[in-house]
């Protein structure tokens, strides 16, 4: 279910506010025409990682943790919700990085210093921000003194730009326009490690188009801007569409234009002349993301599915726009980072092969490889002609769900955020000379013994048209002959992917006697471009058919109670819950809809203006596809629903406005069906605050125990 630690669906623009929305349930919505058959009996067994020595009302009564029946789980729900997470590192030097962690109950910036070697004195962790609302992303200046970051208010996603010194002190606002959305600023970077300008985009001009802004940073002792000063800022370049900044080198800014979640372009803007050059001209849908300049600035490295079913590693010649594929594996690559490798100034008389390669390295690229939702990381070294010096090397010991890889430019070190079902998110350091890894964060896991958590099992089945659909299955050991109730958790997106993240609520369900199934139905990423388009527009309800087929497969298991299978989903997954209850009403015992879409017409009319075009590209447009939008909207089939429904929504949600929740609840109330609504006045598209999770999730568990009929005894 969504919260602020969400998906990354996409790790290009993948702001944390979008990228971590499903992780409380264990769904990071992070692209083969169909998935390959998965082993139906063997659980995935990842390699070991090195580990060192104001809620408001609703029609529902509010529950607290203490009211939940004592669980069979070895851990309380409160314990699992209090597990702290560390992720999205930004490297400063060999020992130091900033990152996001949540000991205060919302994601905040911390600075971590982990010396190693004979003189190491132990890690030092410093809190840089302490806001009541979440921090969603950050960047560090080239010389390591300043951190710029984004923060919204009450989940409204109108992110403002802030600056805090890496040495600590008060954070100051660089923008103060609460009705305006800003994207993550990128520092001007080069070989001279000095504090330069930042570049970012904002919809201040008209609420829709994201224009380019370039500005310097104030002094360390400066005060934040006023609302009047913020409103007076003028864009460097007015743009039409959804743009964000990926890299900023000299006077050239590299921009991403996103027309949909599967169609995008790269542009270079000369900030002196304001000339805009398209690098990736194409017809049809083509995804470009994670772009960064090479050391010499002559090419741009990026991830793209141009000419491929999958997201491959490629480079684009800045002068000719010629595209060259560097790495294609038949799986999606992600989380690209480009290190302008500083070559050794001298070599020994008899250098090792590794030292010879290091001396010739101009660019060092790190990226992830996604195989059925499980990722590993690789390193690729290029010479000054952008040719590989050797084959790509896998970083051993890193296997799971990788949120970020960020490398230093002046030393052979990367910091990696990683998690898996049995390990909450932590940060590891990689020595690129040896590919050795060590864990550098030790988050408070609230006394949870990871060895007792439930691992995932990767399974698959053939759906109604013969295509293969994969899903993760979680179930604790249980007695032979016991029949489990099941919760099917559906990811959002829809262009996203369920992965084996750590999820507190998911683990509590599995440890309390539920089976949990987490599918990647058609339309999901990770299985090829063709597969991701199988639910487009008129084919929307084919993905719901996949959900029904999964229900049938689960009902045939000898350890599942066929009459006790519930649906649970957030965002687009909330729509899937409502669609499942309306199209296949006899299959499901209950539904939980979190910030879900009930009516595509009202959703598109009321979603934030800067999002509408992106969403119309997936679902259909208001102007041309009104009849289709009405046809696929659950609100028009509400009389088919038979199962009880529980709805959660934040009143500040800019993506799926609160009206989607109220209209489905009111329609069911009129029909006398059991429905509950829980809303929060300080949340948006999901729950980001621990205090609200401690209200909402126990209520969810009580609802399931009541209506699915099995739970903690």
What does the pLDDT read at residue 710? 58
- The answer to whether the beta carbons of residues 163 and 172 sit under 8 Å apart is yes
Look at residues 463, 461, 483 and name the one whose alpha carbon lies nearest to residue 471: 461
Q: Are strands 436-439 and 457-462 parallel, antiparallel or unpaired?
A: unpaired
Q: Is 604 within the bounds of a domain?
A: yes
Average of per-residue pLDDT across 73-81: 94
Beta bridge partners of 138: 149
Tokens of 108: 């905040």
> Where residue 529 sits, what CATH number does that domain have?
3.40.50.1820
User: Is 26's pLDDT higher than 70?
Assistant: no
User: Phi/psi of residue 178, each to 5°?
Assistant: -65, -15
Q: Is 485 within the bounds of a domain?
A: yes
pLDDT tens digit sequence for 565-593:
999 999 999 999 999 999 999 999 999 99
User: Is 180's pLDDT higher than 60?
Assistant: yes
Average pLDDT over all residues of the chain: 87
What does the pLDDT read at residue 123? 81
Rg (CA), the chain: 24
Angle at 453 between CA 491 and CA 440, to 5 degrees: 90
CA 639 centroid distance within chain:
35
Report residue 70's pLDDT band, with 50, 70 and 90 as the boundaries: very low
Q: Is 560 within the bounds of a domain?
A: yes
- The answer to whether the beta carbons of residues 150 and 136 sit under 8 Å apart is yes
**Order of strands, sheet of 393-407, starting from the edge strand that comes earlier in the sequence:** 332-340, 363-371, 374-382, 393-407, 413-420, 423-431, 436-439
What does the pLDDT read at residue 346? 65
Q: Containing domain of residue 572, as a range?
A: 63-79+448-708
What does the pLDDT read at residue 192? 62
What does the pLDDT read at residue 121? 62
Q: Are strands 515-520 and 468-474 parallel, antiparallel or unpaired?
A: antiparallel
What percent of the chain lies above the pLDDT cut of 70? 87
CA 411 centroid distance within chain:
28
Beta bridge partners of 472: 458, 518
Report the alpha-carbon distance of residue 5 to residue 405 in Å, rounded: 17
What does the pLDDT read at residue 250? 87
Report residue 67's pLDDT band, with 50, 70 and 90 as the boundaries: very low
Q: Is 524 within the bounds of a domain?
A: yes
Q: Is 531 within the bounds of a domain?
A: yes
* In the block, residue with structure tokens 């070190």: 413
Report the alpha-carbon distance of residue 682 to residue 689 in Å, rounded: 9
User: Is 174's pLDDT higher than 60?
Assistant: yes
User: Is 309's pLDDT higher than 90?
Assistant: yes
pLDDT tens digit sequence for 253-306:
999 999 988 899 999 999 999 999 999 999 999 999 999 999 999 999 999 999
Average of per-residue pLDDT across 75-100: 95
Q: Is 236 within the bounds of a domain?
A: no
Judged on CB neighbours under 10 Å (0-12, 13-18, 19+), 190 is middle
What does the pLDDT read at residue 712? 41
pLDDT tens digit sequence for 487-498:
999 999 888 999
User: Is 10's pLDDT higher than 90?
Assistant: no
What does the pLDDT read at residue 8? 31
Beta bridge partners of 189: 249
Report the alpha-carbon distance of residue 60 to residue 187 in Å, rounded: 47
Helices (H) and strands (E) in the chain, counts: 13, 35
Q: Is 664 within the bounds of a domain?
A: yes
Report residue 71's pLDDT band, with 50, 70 and 90 as the boundaries: very low
Alpha helices in 164-318 (DSSP H): 227-231
Count of alpha carbons within 13 angstroms of residue 218, beta-carbon side? 15
- The answer to whether the beta carbons of residues 691 and 7 sit under 8 Å apart is no
pLDDT tens digit sequence for 345-389:
566 777 777 777 777 888 899 999 999 999 999 999 999 899 999
Total number of domains in the chain: 1
Q: Is 689 within the bounds of a domain?
A: yes
* In the block, residue with structure tokens 């099941």: 486
Look at residues 492, 401, 488 and name the one whose alpha carbon lies nearest to residue 685: 492
User: Is 36's pLDDT higher than 70?
Assistant: no
Quickly count: other Cβ atoms within 10 Å of residue 411's Cβ: 17
User: Is 461's pLDDT higher than 50?
Assistant: yes
- Supply the DSSP string of 592-610, one letter for each residue: EEES--S-HHHHHHHS-HH
């Amino acid at each position: 279910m969504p919260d602020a630690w969400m998906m990354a669906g996409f790790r290009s623009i993948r702001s944390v506010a979008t990228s971590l929305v499903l992780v409380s349930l264990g769904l990071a919505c992070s692209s083969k025409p169909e998935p390959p058959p998965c082993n139906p009996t063997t659980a995935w067994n990842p390699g070991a990682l090195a580990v060192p020595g104001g809620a408001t009302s609703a029609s529902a009564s509010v529950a607290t943790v203490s009211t939940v029946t004592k669980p069979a789980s070895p851990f309380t729900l409160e314990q699992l919700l209090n597990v702290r997470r560390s992720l999205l590192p930004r490297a400063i030097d060999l020992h130091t990085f900033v990152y996001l962690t949540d000991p205060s109950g919302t994601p905040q910036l911390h600075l971590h210093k982990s010396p190693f070697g004979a003189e190491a004195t132990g890690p030092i962790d410093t809190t840089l921000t302490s806001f009541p609302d979440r921090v969603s992303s950050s960047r560090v200046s080239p010389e390591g003194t300043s951190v710029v970051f984004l923060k919204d208010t009450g989940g409204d996603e109108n992110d403002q730009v802030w600056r805090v010194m890496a040495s600590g002190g008060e954070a100051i606002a660089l923008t103060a326009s609460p009705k305006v959305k800003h994207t993550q600023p990128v520092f001007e970077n080069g070989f001279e490690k000095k504090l330069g300008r930042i570049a970012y985009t904002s919809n201040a001009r008209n609420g829709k188009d994201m224009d380019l802004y370039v500005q310097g940073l104030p002094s360390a002792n400066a005060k934040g801007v006023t609302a009047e000063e913020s409103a007076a800022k003028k864009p460097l370049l007015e743009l039409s569409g959804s743009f964000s900044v990926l890299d900023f080198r000299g006077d050239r800014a590299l921009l991403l234009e996103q027309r949909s979640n599967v169609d995008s372009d790269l542009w270079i803007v000369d900030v002196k002349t304001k000339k805009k050059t398209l690098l990736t001209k194409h017809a049809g849908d083509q995804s470009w993301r994670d772009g960064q300049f090479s050391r010499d600035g002559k090419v741009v490295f990026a991830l793209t599915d141009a000419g491929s079913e999958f997201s491959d590693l490629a480079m684009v010649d800045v002068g000719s726009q010629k595209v060259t594929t560097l790495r294609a594996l038949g799986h999606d690559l992600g989380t690209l980072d480009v290190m302008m490798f500083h070559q050794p100034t001298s070599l020994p008389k008899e250098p090792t092969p590794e030292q010879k390669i290091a001396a010739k390295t101009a660019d060092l690229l790190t990226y992830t490889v996604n195989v059925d939702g499980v990722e590993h990381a690789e390193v690729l070294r290029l010479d000054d002609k952008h040719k590989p010096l050797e084959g790509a090397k896998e970083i051993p010991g890193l296997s799971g769900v990788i949120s970020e890889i960020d490398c230093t430019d002046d030393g052979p070190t990367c910091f990696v955020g990683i998690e898996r079902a049995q390990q909450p998110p932590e940060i590891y350091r990689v020595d690129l000379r040896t590919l050795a890894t060590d864990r550098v964060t030790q988050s408070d896991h609230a006394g949870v013994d990871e060895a007792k958590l439930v691992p995932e099992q990767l399974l698959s089945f053939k759906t109604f048209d013969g295509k293969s659909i994969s899903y993760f299955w979680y179930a604790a050991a249980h007695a032979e002959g016991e029949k489990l109730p099941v919760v099917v958790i559906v990811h959002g997106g829809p262009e996203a992917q369920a992965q084996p993240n750590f999820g507190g609520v998911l683990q509590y369900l599995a440890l309390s006697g539920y089976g949990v199934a987490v599918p990647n139905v058609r339309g999901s990423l990770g299985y090829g471009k063709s597969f991701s388009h199988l639910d487009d527009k008129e084919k929307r309800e084919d993905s719901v058919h996949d959900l029904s087929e999964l229900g049938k497969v689960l009902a045939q298991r000898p350890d599942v109670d066929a009459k006790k299978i519930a649906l649970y989903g957030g965002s687009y997954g909330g729509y899937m819950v409502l669609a499942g209850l309306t199209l296949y009403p006899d299959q499901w015992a209950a539904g939980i809809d979190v910030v879900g879409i009930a009516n595509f017409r009202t959703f598109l009319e009321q979603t934030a203006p800067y999002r509408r075009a992106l969403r119309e590209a997936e679902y259909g447009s208001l102007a041309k596809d009104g009849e289709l939008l009405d046809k696929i909207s659950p609100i028009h089939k509400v009389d088919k629903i038979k199962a009880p429904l529980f709805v959660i929504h934040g009143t500040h949600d800019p993506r799926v406005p609160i009206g989607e929740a109220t209209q489905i609840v009111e329609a069911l109330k009129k029909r006398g069906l059991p429905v509950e609504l829980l809303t929060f006045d300080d949340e948006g598209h999901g729950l980001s605050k621990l205090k609200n999770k401690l209200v909402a999730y126990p209520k969810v568990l009580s609802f399931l125990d009541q209506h699915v009929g099995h739970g903690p005894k």
